[in-house]
Structure formats: C-alpha cells, structure tokens
Amino acid sequence: MILSIAHASKDEASGAHFYAIWSDMVIGQERPQGLIDCYLLEDEGVVQVAAVWKSVEDHDTAVDDVSHPAFGFFKACGLDPTHATFRIIGHMHQA
C-alpha cells in the first residue's frame, strides 16, 4: 500500500471554499481505481489531501487524472501542490 500526501499553501487560493469544492468533487465523481481512503486536511495556512492506495501503479495513474478529489481538488482550487509518497510498512486499525 502507498500513502500519498499532496499539499499547498491556502494563501495561493484567494477566495476558494475548500470544503465546498471537495464535497462537490466527492459527490460528483467516481472513486478512482485502487483508492482505499482519502482525507482533506487543513492546518495553519496549508491544505492537504492524504490518500491510501492499493499500489503505486494506482497512485501514478490517478496523478494524471484531475477529475477526482485525490488530486483534481488542487486544480479546482487554483493550486499547484507538492506531492510525496510513502510505502506503508505497518499500521494500526481500531476495530
């Protein structure tokens, strides 16, 4: 499994309503192949999308597809994100 994190400064998106854009994309789009889970995160001055993928191939295919929230969210907000990927080597899950 792969964890991808894309982030950008919120200041670069003047007037963007992040939650509304995210919600519209989540409701209106199909889930990309291999996407296990996806989160919209916000911290002081930064917006992030963290996603868990079944494989690096699924992630790489999705990077080029701006029609879904995992990556298209940033384009819809007028942002150019920085991407990082990590191989997941362990996790804890609450049952």
pLDDT digits (tens, 9 = 90+) for 26-65: 777 778 889 999 899 988 889 999 999 999 999 888 877 7
Q: pTM of whole model > 0.85?
A: no
Band (pLDDT 50/70/90 cuts) for residue 84 is: very high
How many other C-beta atoms lie within 10 A of the C-beta of residue 56?
14
Task: Please report the DSSP string for 15-81 in residue order.
Answer: T--HHHHHHHHHHHSPPPTTEEEEEEEEETTEEEEEEEES-HHHHHHHHT-TTSHHHHHHHHTT---
The yes or no reply on domain 2-87 and CATH 3.30.70.100 is yes
